Chains A and B, each alone.
Chain A
Amino acid sequence: MQLKLAQRGFSLVELAVTLAIVALLIGGAMATLSSQVETRNNDETARRLHAAADAIVAFAIVNRRLPCPARFAATHSSGLESFCTAATGTCSGSETTTVQTHGNCSNFYDGFVPAVSVGASPVDDTGFAVDAWGNRLRYAVARNKAGCTTSPGTNHVFTAEGNMRTYGVGCRPNDLDVCTTAACAARVVSQDTAVFVVFSTGKNGAITGAHGADEAENIDGDAVFVNRTPSGADSAGGTYDDLMVIVPVGVVYSKLISAGVLP
C-alpha cells in the first residue's frame, strides 16, 4: 500500500504545466536555431559562390578563356562545360562536352558552374557544384562583345581560347544585364561590365512555384539577371532569396595580366 502511494507520479495539472513550459522553450530555441542555420547556410553559400568565381578565373588563367556553363538539359554535361558543335548561332540539339575551340557554348545564360572542369567543390552526385541547400550553383557568361580594338567579327572572345589576347583587352561584354528588378528599372552595375555571374537560387531554389518574378528572371534563360536584397512574397518582385556574385571584366583582365596571359 505504501509502495503504491510512492508511485503515484505527477498530477495531470503538473504534467500539463511542465509540457507547456517545455514546448514554449523548445519553440523559442528552435526558432533561434533555425535562424542561425539559415544565416550559416547563407554565409556558406556566399563562400561557395566566391570560391566558384575564383575557380573560374583560375581556369581562365590556365586555359586563356572563360569556361562555358555546364548544362542539365537536353544533354546532361555532368559538371563539365557544355559546348555547341556549331561555331556560331544558337545551339539546337548539338550539345557536347568535348571542348570546342570556337567557344560557342550550348547556352551562355542558362547553365551551371562547370564544377568538374574548373575544379569547384562540393559537388552533387551528378558533378554539379551545389550551394548549402544542395541546389546547383548557376553560371552565366558573356557571349557578346563590344569596343574591341581589333574587330573579332563573329568570333567569340571570352570563351574561345586565346581570343581575349588576340582581340585585345579593349573588348568588353555587352549582354549580361544585372538589374534590381525583372523589368530592369535600375541596374546593379553599369552595362558592359559583368563578364560572368555565379549565383545560387537560394533556399527555395528547388521548390516549384516558390519563385517570385525577380527570382524567375534569373532562371528564364535570357541575359537579364536580378540581384537585390532578400524579400518575402509580399514585396513587389515577390520572394527573393537568390545570392549572386558579379565579376566585372576588368577583374578578369587584371588577373590575366598579372599572370602574364595578357595582353
Chain B
Amino acid sequence: MYVQKCIKGVNGIDLDRAKEMMQDEGLTCNWWRERARTPRTGIGLQEIGERLTHSNLYLHVNAYGAQHPDYAGLVFQETPFISLSAGNVTAPVFSRTSTVWSAHQTALDFATGHGTYLGDCFLFHCWVIVGLRSAVGVRALAEEVRDLKTYSQYSYYQGEGEIAAKIDVPPSQIEKFEHWRTTSTGLNQDPEFIDEWGNPGYIDPATVVNLREAL
C-alpha cells in the first residue's frame, strides 16, 4: 500500500461550509449526501459492502451521468466513490510524454465547472491509502483509476490521473483547502486565488508510514 496525496475540487458551497467539511465532516460521496438530504435517512453500514463493487466503480468512471441500472437515481447520485485528482511527474516521464498533468490543475478545472461556474470554489488537499492491487470491496483503501486504453492522456509511466476514494475522506486526512473565485466564464475566464486555510486536526501521513525515526 502507499499513501497518495490528492486534491478534490468542490463548488456550490461557501467558505463556512468548506471549513465545516475540512474540520468536522470530511469529504463524503454523493450517495451519502443524497441520502442525508432526502429522506434524511443516511446510509446503512450493511449497504456499504453491497455498493463497493467493480460494476459500480465502472459506472462511476465510465457512465457518471447515466441512469444507474440498479438504483433509482443517476450514477453520480448513487455512487459510493469520490473522485480525487492525483498527479505528479518526473523529468523522465515528461521527456517521454511531453505532458504534465497536475492534480492542482485538474481539481481547479472541476471546481470551476470546466469553465462554466461563477462564484466561490474550493480545492481540498487530502491523502488516502491506495492498494497496490485492486480491492474495491475494502472501504479503507482507495482505488487507482487509470484505464490507459481509454484515458490515453494519462501516462504509461506514472500513477497520475484519478483516484477513487470510498464513502468518505475523514477530516484528519484533509490538510487544507484553497479558496478560489471565478468572475467570468468561457474563453475569457480567469480563476482568482483568494486564500488558503489549514486544518488544525490534520494528521501527517508520515506518522503512519513504514518508517520509524531514531532519536
Do these two chains really belong together in a complex? no
Q: Which residues of chain B have a CB within 8 Å of any CB of chain A?
A: none
Q: Which residues of chain A have a CB within 8 Å of any CB of chain B?
A: none
